[in-house]
Amino acid sequence: MKNNQSSIQALKSLIDHAHSPFHCCSYCMERLMEAGFTPLELTKPFQVKPGGRYCINIYDTTCIAFTIGSSLADTGKMPDFRMITSHTDWPTFLIKPNPEVCSDQYGRLNIEPYGGAVYTSWLDRPLGIAGKVCLKGKDSFHPRTHLMDSLQPVAVIPGLAIHMNHEINNGTKLNPQLHMLPLAALKQKEDDKDFFLSYLSTLLETSQDEILDYELCLYNADEGICTGISREFFSSPRIDNCSSVHAALEAVINADSEGNLICMSAFYHNEEIGSTTKQGADSGLTVEILERIFENLGFNREQLHCSIGGGLCLSLDVAHAMHPGYPDKNDLTNHVCLGDGVVLKLSAKQSYATDSSFVSIIQSICQNNHIPYTKYVNRSDLRGGNTLGSISSARLNIPCIDAGVPLLSMHSARELMACEDQKALCRLAAALFTEKGKLK
């Protein structure tokens, strides 16, 4: 139970800091630099060498960390390449420009849905606000950037009383523009129309005129807790996909640094909206970074693609656990329960990266390290979701496997997992970056 709790406590620490994708990225960068990783910048030439450990902050919401085996300096052989991907975002609501919506005595915020949130789960929750705010800088091309976090609940999306809708328990349709605007203030006077910008300027200790733009989201301010008779469950906001970020982060920090491996963990933004952005997995970002790394190490483009083609990528994202109240939503023979360990996600449509040769490698790693695992396939008449595996394998032409922890209440403001499953996921990620062997 001690190791189990340490995995969950470490995950909880990440979730407590990751109130926005910006804060998730910042947390990863801080942990990496504390562990001795050297920061690099996209806008400056790379200087990397065998035995080095490096990290890159990319537009404040994506970061990539990698280690280079020290043996490369002696052998001169092409490096083996292994990679873990995860994502730093989750379904939420972004605050629009000119957000103040004032009616009667109420001050609400105009919001826009981000990703596929379960709207009803956000009602009546204590909501904080976090993200990035840009202020005027020394010139137009250098705005000052601040990470902003209310650090306490400042808004709520109130639900409608059953007395006003006696059919509410039969299902209700929520319009995000009409029903999901968070209540954030009671107006003190008639001309109090910029209450949110006033709040921001006070929090940042600046004037409203200094604020140029922001990317701010709502977050559920509830804390994660262990629950269940034996405290076997973990209930928390943002398990999707902080559980995977945590496993990928710990794996690269503890990666084998003495062999012939390049180990890379990528923490991408915008998975929840398709990944086709400059900082998303469906961009040229990772190929560009790998080209720069290999060139620094004295390898050419041909050798780079040989290493990628012989490499292996583990795409980490949560999986659907069987809901005990809705067993008919699962495949007949391939359903998964909380506590089953790591889930290997398969799909004939390739919405999850599926190749039996490489799934077999992950199975063998699990078996060799006594890591519990199972396989998941969607019902044939349900669409299911997508994740980073197929995107990463198509962009990089790298063998890839999708895996993650099983989850209930996915995309809700609060989700549920089994504590033991996080421990299993961390062990698999760690094994990928330390296991001996090479693909042929």
Mean pLDDT of 184-188: 84
Domain boundary among 166, 194, 220: 220
Q: Are residues 272 and 421 in the same domain?
A: yes
CATH number of 315's domain: 3.40.630.10
Q: Are residues 154 and 66 in the same domain?
A: no
Whether 411 is covered by a domain: the verdict is yes
Whether 343 is covered by a domain: the verdict is yes
Whether 108 is covered by a domain: the verdict is yes
For residues 332 and 353, give the distance between their C-alpha atoms in angstroms, rounded to a whole number.
Answer: 21
Mean pLDDT of 241-258: 94
Query: Phi then psi for 94, rounded to 5 degrees?
Result: -95, 145
Q: Are residues 246 and 195 in the same domain?
A: no
Residue 170 has pLDDT above 80, yes or no: yes
Residue 330 has pLDDT above 80, yes or no: yes
% of the chain surpassing 70 pLDDT? 96
Kindly indicate the confidence band of residue 188, based on its pLDDT and cuts at 50, 70 and 90. Answer: low
Residues in the chain: 440
- 17 with 151: CB under 8 angstroms? no
Q: Are residues 18 and 50 in the same domain?
A: yes
Rg, the chain, Cα only: 23
Predicted confidence (pLDDT) per residue in 414-432, tens digit: 999 999 999 999 999 999 9
> What is the bridge-based pairing of β-strands 53-58 and 62-68?
antiparallel
Whether 325 is covered by a domain: the verdict is yes
Region of 397 (left: φ > 0; alpha: ψ -120 to 50; beta: rest) is: left
Mean pLDDT of 120-136: 97
Mean pLDDT of 366-375: 95
Q: Residue 55 is part of which domain span?
A: 2-90+238-432
Q: How many domains does the chain have?
A: 2
Whole-model pTM over 0.85: yes
Predicted confidence (pLDDT) per residue in 103-116, tens digit: 888 999 999 999 99
| Burial classification of residue 227, based on how many CB atoms lie within 10 Å of its CB (0-12 exposed, 13-18 middle, 19 or more buried) | middle
Q: Are residues 23 and 115 in the same domain?
A: no
Kindly indicate the confidence band of residue 46, based on its pLDDT and cuts at 50, 70 and 90. Answer: very high
Q: Are residues 280 and 132 in the same domain?
A: no
The gap from C-alpha 87 to its chain's centroid, in whole angstroms, comes to 3
CATH number of 151's domain: 2.30.250.10
Mean pLDDT of 305-314: 93
Whether 261 is covered by a domain: the verdict is yes
Q: Are residues 84 and 97 in the same domain?
A: no
- In this predicted structure, which of 110-119, 302-311, 343-352 has the lowest mean pLDDT? 343-352
Q: Are residues 248 and 309 in the same domain?
A: yes
Whether 273 is covered by a domain: the verdict is yes
Domain boundary among 165, 190, 220: 220
Q: Please, what is the angle between helix 356-368 and helix 419-432, to 10°?
A: 110
Q: Are residues 84 and 103 in the same domain?
A: no
Output the pLDDT for position 2. Answer: 43
Q: Are residues 252 and 301 in the same domain?
A: yes
Sequence-separated (6 or more) residues with CB below 8 Å from residue 355: 399, 400, 401
| Burial classification of residue 207, based on how many CB atoms lie within 10 Å of its CB (0-12 exposed, 13-18 middle, 19 or more buried) | exposed
% of the chain surpassing 90 pLDDT? 79
Q: Which amino acid is at 56?
A: I
Pick the more confident residue, 77 or 74: 77
Mean pLDDT of 53-65: 97
Pick the more confident residue, 385 or 274: 274
Whether 187 is covered by a domain: the verdict is yes
Mean pLDDT, all residues of the chain: 92
Whether 124 is covered by a domain: the verdict is yes
Residue 180 has pLDDT above 90, yes or no: yes
Q: Are residues 285 and 168 in the same domain?
A: no
For residues 401 and 422, give the distance between their C-alpha atoms in angstroms, rounded to a whole number.
Answer: 18
Q: Are residues 370 and 412 in the same domain?
A: yes
Distances (CA, A) of 224 to 5, 270, 346, 406: 13, 24, 30, 17
- 344 with 376: CB under 8 angstroms? yes
Output the pLDDT for position 421. Answer: 98
- In this predicted structure, which of 19-33, 47-61, 335-349 has the lowest mean pLDDT? 335-349
Residue 247 has pLDDT above 50, yes or no: yes
Output the pLDDT for position 439. Answer: 53
| Nearest to 59, CA basis, from 265, 269, 240, 273 | 269
Output the pLDDT for position 1. Answer: 37
| Nearest to 79, CA basis, from 94, 66, 69, 87 | 69
Query: Phi then psi for 345, rounded to 5 degrees?
Result: -95, 125
Distances (CA, A) of 289 to 43, 56, 180, 252, 376: 11, 10, 40, 17, 33
Domain boundary among 190, 220, 250: 220
